[in-house]
Amino acid sequence: MIQAVSPTKWSASGGVRKIEFGADQPLLLSSGARIAPLTIAFETYGQLNADKSNAILVCHALTGDQYVASPNPITGRPAWWPRIVGPGLPIDTNRFFVICPNVLGGCMGTTGPSSSGPDGEPYGLAFPAFTVADMVRAQAMLLEALGVHSLFCVLGGSIGGMQALQWAAAYPKRVYACAAIATAARHSAQNIAFYEVGRQAIMADPDWRGGAYQAAGVRPLKGLAVARMAAHITYLSEGSLRRKFDRRLQDREAVSFGFDADFQVESYLRHQGQSFVDRFDANSYLYITRAVDYFDLGADFGGTLTQAFQGATTRFCVFSFSSDWHYPPTDNREIVRALIAAGCDASYVEVQTDKGHDAFLLEEHAFEQALTGFIDSAAASRGLPLP
Amino acid sequence: MIQAVSPTKWSASGGVRKIEFGADQPLLLSSGARIAPLTIAFETYGQLNADKSNAILVCHALTGDQYVASPNPITGRPAWWPRIVGPGLPIDTNRFFVICPNVLGGCMGTTGPSSSGPDGEPYGLAFPAFTVADMVRAQAMLLEALGVHSLFCVLGGSIGGMQALQWAAAYPKRVYACAAIATAARHSAQNIAFYEVGRQAIMADPDWRGGAYQAAGVRPLKGLAVARMAAHITYLSEGSLRRKFDRRLQDREAVSFGFDADFQVESYLRHQGQSFVDRFDANSYLYITRAVDYFDLGADFGGTLTQAFQGATTRFCVFSFSSDWHYPPTDNREIVRALIAAGCDASYVEVQTDKGHDAFLLEEHAFEQALTGFIDSAAASRGLPLP
């Protein structure tokens, strides 16, 4: 039974707020499989107004979590979007009710491959493969349970942007505005290739144990670190790597003629790999990357992206970053082209920056200003308060 | 003692021609270490003319070998530059005497970490780290032993191009012409990062055994395959991956909802990884990538690249490929700028192609035509026969 939960009733066990859907409320997946029971961990900020018209759903990226505007109590890491979501910020929690769920298959409280299945054992590879559409279907279950029947806005960056687009395509009547940031409507061959390298690195680690590492009391830390290192390079531009590190040496005057981290960029990458394995589950990485590989919104809606948005009254804004080569401007412009062709209200902002894909998480005034304008304009149109 | 070897004396043990330098002829390395004995495996094509003025040195890339124009007898793979080197081709073996050595640290006969050291045991990580300058110094020893005191031309693509530039900078009087193809005078932070991912993948494999896998009778096949997969993506452009594979499925009508190679690009990458481990040594991969990380020609010649080429009378031509993002046109243009600033005779050809870095190994008529023009013009100037 779906529990109706009011904000005052949310419990925070160890700082993780959750809602559970029982065996009678399975999540039906694109593959035909189903997941039950299903737990969705989520965080909220601000207050839902009386007519429930001020809800904003924030969808997190591959390795993000629900702690968009507050510290993660499990990892101790700070809020991941501190310049975007909060009081007086572009997503103003004084005016909006912000919901951020941990994604399906994740490892911060929402059911995923590290969760216990119906038999009480960790799923491991018995967890069913899912899609971005399934992530969104799970989020829709959460919103229904919270009594939020429509969204003022859905937004996200990277694969969060894919979820935002999926929301607008699957539930056009329930989404007033949609901000898709540094994303794509179809994951490219190059991106599939990079994700496959990461998966192979994880699966090559003998501590992966065919996915059953939890039962063995081990974790494929080395493989997961390599996967993260490879992916992390794609989140930064060549120019930003040159600006931040170039060929500067790490704590030494000359190269070591060996395999230490002679260069700052090596030291930085190793740190990225090491800190990642402390906070992320390897099987979650496999499953979520697979969901993203499978993302091709146009193919899912009759073959063209335009059809996915035909007739939608949602207001769209697509944001991209000039030096992003993970989801480059061309991918984002393709979304805009399809939206325009579908007759939608669509704007496009391309921010000039050398920060690459990760720019959406960093200080980028032009992005913040444009996002603020889009949100406030939509709020005015919707009759919601302005700052 | 350096042996004077004439072409008729070269023996082909298992198809591998070698020359050995004894304990009294050590190779002095940039690190201060030395290697002795030193074996250099090489291949030659064509005949050295009477005044020894028609020698061309071809330098191979990271995972190449000496079999530039003939099948590799060890791996059975075909010649790696069949459109460039051979009778009637741009590097015309009817007119030129072509020498192609296996690089220092390689695994096709030249001394490397898989060779036995002075104690009779495989070097493993006891092999001294070396640089591109050391590779070139070893090649110079080979040429002296062959009685070739100057080169009509030195050329190579990728890290072969680095060796060619190093030749021109280190031995300006001995190089009449130099063709540097799809290369850089300094390895970028992004490229160091990708190589570091590959090294970490190898060293994460428990079968690497701290580099001593030969003694244990194992090989870090999985780690080496991951390293190759990651690197291979950087050799292709996003556009060529889209053209060749896009999101097409491999031998199936629908995705598997699992971790099989659903997509053609995954299947292709896995094949690249698997076929690579059959022919390459993991420690050679570590050492050669490290040599390339260390490559910064300007830094080695007083701080600026211009100084490296000051006063050189060598004729240069630099070739780059528009979609190469491993050694992008900007890296190649930087070489040309320094050459011009040094007062050198330098030309630049940027070939429009979507084939990425690997374009220099593939069918590219514009490249072949331009290389032919450069070689033949230099040959005419040098008084060598034309086709």
- Encode pLDDT of B140-194 as tens digits: 999 999 999 999 999 999 999 999 999 999 999 999 999 999 999 999 999 999 9
Tens of pLDDT along B148-160? 999 999 999 999 9
Distance CA A38, CA A358 (A): 31
**Could you give the domains of chain A?**
7-187+297-382 (3.40.50.1820), 191-290 (1.10.1740.110)
Rounded mean pLDDT of chain B?
95
For the cut 50, the answer to whether the pLDDT of residue A135 exceeds it is yes
Give A 41-80 residues with CB within 8 A of chain B. none
Q: Please compute the mean of the pLDDT values over residues B81-106 and round it to a whole number.
A: 98
Contact between B366 and B374 under an 8 Å Cβ cutoff? The reply is: no
pLDDT at residue B4 in the model? 42
Strand partners, B38: B21
Backbone angles phi, psi at B150, to 5 degrees: -145, 160
CA angle B20, B24, B29 (to 5 degrees): 80
Spatial contact of B25 and B141, defined as CB atoms under 8 Å apart: yes
Q: Is A262 a catalytic residue?
A: no
A162 bridge partner residues: none
Mean predicted confidence (pLDDT) in B340-363: 98
Q: List b or e across B312-336, with b for residues whose CB sees 16 or more CB atoms inside 10 angstroms.
A: bebbbbbbbbbbbbbbbbebbebbb
Which one, of A252, A15, A23, lies nearest residue A117 by Cα? A23
CA end-to-end distance (rounded Å), chain A: 39
Cβ separation of A192 and B128 shorter than 8 Å?
Answer: no
* pLDDT tens-digit map of B13-71: 677 899 999 999 999 999 999 999 999 999 999 999 999 999 999 999 999 999 999 99
Mean pLDDT of A76-85: 97
Residue A13: per-residue pLDDT: 67
* Type and span of the H or E element at B225: helix B221-235
Model pLDDT, residue A2: 37
Q: What's residue A8's pLDDT?
A: 34
Looking at residue B13, its pLDDT comes to 66
Task: Establish if A10 touches chain B: CB-CB under 8 angstroms.
Answer: no
pLDDT higher than threshold 50 for residue A3: no
Which amino acid, A268? Y
Chain A residue whose CA is closest to B255:
A294
Q: What is the per-residue pLDDT for B1?
A: 31
> What ipTM was reported for this prediction?
0.95
Give the SS3 label for residue A359.
helix
Q: How confident is the model at residue B381 (pLDDT cuts 50, 70, 90)?
A: very high
Q: How confident is the model at residue A71 (pLDDT cuts 50, 70, 90)?
A: very high
Decide if A319 contacts A182 (C-beta within 8 A): yes
Evaluate the CA torsion angle B21, B26, B27, B33 in order and state its sign: positive
Separation between Cα atoms, residue A83 and residue A373, nearest integer Å: 15
Does the beta carbon of A265 lie under 8 angstroms from any beta carbon of chain B? yes
A341-354 residue pLDDT tens: 999 999 999 999 99
Between the CA of residue A371 and those of A194, A320, A326, A350, A366, what are the distances in Å? 30, 12, 21, 12, 9
Q: Which of A80, A79, A87, A85 is closest to A61 using CA atoms?
A: A80
- Residue B8: pLDDT band (50, 70, 90) is very low
**Chain B residues closer than 8 Å to A242 by CB:** 188-190
pLDDT tens-digit series, residues A6-22: 433 345 567 789 999 99
Mean pLDDT of A171-190: 98
**Which tens digits make up the pLDDT trace of B274-298?**
999 999 999 999 999 999 999 999 9
**Tell me, what's the pLDDT at B16?**
86
B263–A contact, CB cutoff 8 A? yes
A357: annotated active-site residue? yes
Q: What is the dihedral of CA B39, B40, B46, B50, to 10 degrees?
A: -70
CB of A303 closer than 8 Å to CB of B247 = no
Smallest CA-to-CA distance from B68 within B59, B80, B77, B56 is with B80
SS3 content of chain B, % helix, strand, coil (to 5): 40, 15, 45
SS (H, E, C) B338-362: HHHHCCCEEEEEEECCCCCHHHHHC
Tell me if B204 and A206 make a contact (CB, 8 A cut-off): no
Does residue A285 contact residue A302 with C-beta atoms inside 8 Å? Answer: no
H or E stretch including A158? none
The mean pLDDT of chain A is 95
CB contact under 8 A, A238 and B190: yes
Measured between alpha carbons, how far is A241 from A264 in angstroms, rounded to an integer?
A: 10
Q: What is the pLDDT of residues A348-371, one digit of tens each?
A: 999 999 999 999 999 999 999 999
- pLDDT at residue B319 tops 80: yes
Question: Residue A364 in contact with residue A332, Cβ under 8 Å?
Answer: no
- Compute the half-sphere exposure of residue A79: CA atoms within 13 Å on the CB side of its CA: 14
E strand residue ranges, chain B: 17-21, 27-28, 34-35, 38-45, 55-59, 85-86, 91-92, 97-101, 151-157, 175-181, 315-321, 345-351
CA distance B157 to B45: 19
Between residues 289 and 348 of chain B, which touch chain A (CB distance below 8 Å)?
290, 293-294, 296, 299, 325, 328
Q: Å from B117 to nearest chain A CA?
A: 18
Asked whether the beta carbons of A248 and A208 are under 8 A apart, the reply is no
Q: What is the mean pLDDT of residues B347-353?
A: 98
Q: How far apart are CA A211 and CA A127, in angstroms?
A: 10
- Diameter of chain B by CA atoms? 67
**Residue of A65, A300, A324, A331 with catalytic role:** A324
The pLDDT assigned to B12 comes to 55
Chain A residues 112-141 with a CB less than 8 Å from chain B = 125, 128-129
pLDDT value, residue A4: 42
Alpha-carbon span A192 to B2, nearest angstrom: 52
Percent of all residues in chain A with a pLDDT value above 90, rounded to a whole number = 96
